[in-house]
C-alpha cells in the first residue's frame, strides 16, 4: 500500500481498497481477509466500520454511484445548454469509462449479477439504476420528448448495454456507435422546436 494511502483514516483505507478489489475482481471474487490484508487494518477495525461484507459492498456501490452520476452530469453539461445535446452527451462519459485503464464494465451490472435479489448490494444497485433513469427522464422531458419515460428507458438501456458489451468485447468503437444510436433515438423522440 502506498505511504499516502496508509495515512488515510481506517474507514477510508478499507473502502478504497474494497473499491479497487471489487472493481477488478467482483464482489464474490474478493474475500474480507484480502481486504483486511491489503488495507492494513485489523479484522475488528473492518467490522467496526462495516459490520458485514454486504454493508462494505453497499458502501463501495454508493461511492461508485456518486462518481458515475457526477461523470454523467459533467458529460451532459459539457454538451451544451440544449437538453437534446445533453442526452447524447451522456455517452461521452461512457466513452471516458472505456478509455480508463482497467475498465471492467459497469460495477452495478456486475454487482447485480453477483448479488441475491433483496440483498443490500442488490438494493443499492437497483436504486442507482432508478435514480439515473429518473434524471435522464427529467432531461428527456426538458428536451420535449413526447414520452420522456420511454426515452429515458431506451437511453439507459443503451448505456447499460454498451457498458456490459464493453466488458465482454473490449471494443473501443462501441461508445461512438452507442452515441450515434442515442443521437438517432433523441432526434426521433425530441423533434426540434419549429
Per-run averaged pLDDT (10 residues), the chain, 194 residues: 65 95 94 95 95 97 95 97 96 90 84 94 97 98 97 97 86 93 96 73
**Of the options 1.10.287.70, 3.40.50.80, 1.10.10.60, 3.30.70.360, the CATH number for the domain spanning 1-51:** 1.10.10.60
pLDDT of amino acid 105: 85
pLDDT of amino acid 4: 46
pLDDT of amino acid 2: 46
pLDDT of amino acid 194: 60
Dist. CA 188–CA 70, nearest whole Å: 27
Dist. CA 153–CA 159, nearest whole Å: 10
Are 157 and 178 in contact by the 8 Å Cβ rule? The answer is no
CATH number of 62-189: 1.10.357.10
Q: Which long-range contacts (CB under 8 A, 24 or more apart) does 170-176 make?
A: 170/103, 172/98, 172/99, 174/98, 175/91, 175/94, 175/95, 175/98, 176/95
Using CA of residue 127, residue 123, residue 111, residue 49, what is the dihedral sign?
Answer: positive
Domain boundaries defined on the chain? 1-51, 62-189
Where does residue 158 fall: left (phi above 0), alpha (psi -120 to 50 degrees), or beta otherwise? Answer: alpha
Are 86 and 76 in contact by the 8 Å Cβ rule? The answer is yes
Dist. CA 157–CA 58, nearest whole Å: 23
Are 83 and 137 in contact by the 8 Å Cβ rule? The answer is no
pLDDT of amino acid 156: 97
The model scores a pTM over 0.85: yes
Same CATH topology for 1-51 and 62-189: the answer is no
pLDDT of amino acid 1: 52
Angstrom distances, CA of residue 79 to CA of 12, 75, 139, 160, 193 = 33, 6, 13, 20, 19
pLDDT of amino acid 8: 84
Report residue 118 as a C-alpha cell: 433483496
Amino acid at each position: 500500500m502506498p505511504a499516502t494511502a496508509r495515512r488515510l483514516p481506517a474507514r477510508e483505507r478499507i473502502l478504497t481498497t474494497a473499491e479497487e478489489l471489487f472493481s477488478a475482481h467482483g464482489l464474490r471474487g474478493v474475500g474480507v481477509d484480502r481486504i483486511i490484508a491489503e488495507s492494513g487494518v485489523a479484522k475488528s477495525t473492518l467490522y467496526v466500520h462495516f459490520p458485514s461484507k454486504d454493508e462494505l459492498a453497499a458502501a463501495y456501490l454508493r461511492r461508485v454511484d456518486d462518481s458515475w452520476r457526477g461523470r454523467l452530469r459533467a458529460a451532459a453539461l459539457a454538451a451544451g445548454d440544449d437538453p437534446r445535446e445533453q442526452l447524447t452527451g451522456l455517452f461521452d462519459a461512457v466513452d471516458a469509462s472505456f478509455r480508463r485503464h482497467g475498465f471492467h464494465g459497469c460495477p452495478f451490472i456486475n454487482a447485480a449479477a453477483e448479488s441475491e435479489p433483496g440483498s443490500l448490494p442488490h438494493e443499492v444497485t437497483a436504486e442507482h439504476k432508478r435514480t439515473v433513469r429518473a434524471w435522464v427522464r427529467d432531461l428527456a422531458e426538458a428536451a420535449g420528448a413526447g414520452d420522456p419515460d420511454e426515452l429515458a428507458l431506451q437511453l439507459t438501456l443503451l448505456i447499460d448495454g454498451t457498458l456490459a458489451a464493453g466488458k465482454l468485447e473490449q471494443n473501443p468503437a462501441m461508445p461512438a456507435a452507442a452515441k450515434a444510436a442515442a443521437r438517432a433515438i433523441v432526434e426521433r423522440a425530441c423533434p426540434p422546436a419549429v
